[in-house]
Structure 1
Amino acid sequence: RGQVSLQKAASSALLAWSLASPAALASYGGFSVEDLPPQSQKVLVSNAQRLVFAVDAYVFDLAEDLEDTTKWADVLGQLQSSSDARFVSVSRIERDVISPLRSLSQGLPEDAGGADIDEAVNGLVVSMAKLRMILSGNTITVFDAAGANGSAVSPAVKKEALDLWEDGRNSLNRGIDVVNALADGSEVKPIGKVPSIAETKGLKRNRERYMSYKRDA
Structure 2
Amino acid sequence: MRQDIVAGAKFPDYVLPDHTKTPRRLSDLQGDQLMIVMLTRGFFCPKDRQQMLELVRFHSQLVVGYTQLVTITTDDWHTTNNYRQQTSAPWPFLYDEERLVQKDLDIKEYTDTTHDVMIPHTIVLGRDLEVFKVYNGYYYWGRPSTAELHAELRELAQRTYRDWDITEPELREKWKKGDNPTSTPMAGIPSPWTHSCSRWPARSTNMPVGQREAERRKPASLAAVFSRSRFLSSRAW
Highest Rg: 1 or 2?
1
> TM-score w.r.t. structure 1 length?
0.30
In terms of fraction of residues, the more helix-rich structure is 1
- Higher RCO by CA contacts (8 Å cutoff, separation 6 or greater): 1
In terms of fraction of residues, the more strand-rich structure is 2
> TM-score w.r.t. structure 2 length?
0.28
